């Protein structure tokens, strides 16, 4: 198995999104494993600011040379910011999925929903069990 960059301070979903929770706010993106599966990201359909999303509901779309994939929200909340840098440089998701390649930020999150997510150790176990 490849040595994927799995950040310890984040929560992960089975669909390979990550979320960084900071109080009642959160930042969302796709994991290093997900960007590897996607291959070269060529377009990101960013979510609208103000959009309310539910946990595990579709929030936006990422298109790669291989496929078009929904990005599901790890938590419920309201989208406050979309990463406009991805419009001109969608490859940021491939090059830097946790910093430059974040997709959107949210507020009014339900932090209790993190109980439905995986920490980094559980996520590493999860992807180790997947056929790549």
Would you list the DSSP string of 54-70? -TTSEEEEEEESS-EEE
Rounded distance, CA 12 to CA 132, Å?
18
pLDDT of residue 2: 82
Look at the pTM and tell me if it is higher than 0.75: yes
Mean pLDDT of the chain: 96
Both tokens of residue 46?
A: 């960013």
Tell me the per-residue pLDDT of 37-89, one tens digit each, with 9 for 90 and over.
Answer: 999 999 999 999 999 999 999 999 999 999 999 999 999 999 999 999 999 99
Tally Cβ neighbours within 10 Å of residue 128.
10
Confidence of residue 1 (pLDDT cuts 50, 70, 90): low
Q: Is pLDDT above 60 for 132?
A: no
Rounded distance, CA 73 to CA 87, Å?
19
72: part of which helix (H) or strand (E)?
strand 68-72
């Amino acid at each position: 198995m490849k040595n994927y960059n799995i950040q310890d301070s984040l929560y992960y979903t089975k669909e390979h999104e990550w979320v960084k929770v900071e109080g009642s706010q959160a930042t969302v993106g796709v994991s290093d494993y997900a960007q590897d599966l996607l291959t070269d990201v060529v377009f990101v359909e960013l979510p609208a600011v103000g959009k309310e999303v539910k946990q595990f509901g579709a929030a936006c779309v990422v298109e790669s040379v291989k496929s078009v994939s929904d990005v599901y929200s790890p938590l419920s909340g309201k989208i406050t910011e979309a990463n406009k840098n991805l419009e001109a440089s969608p490859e940021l998701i491939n090059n830097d999925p946790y910093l430059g390649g974040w997709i959107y930020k949210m507020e009014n999150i339900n932090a209790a929903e993190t109980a439905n997510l995986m920490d980094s150790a559980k996520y590493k176990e999860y992807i180790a069990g997947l056929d790549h």
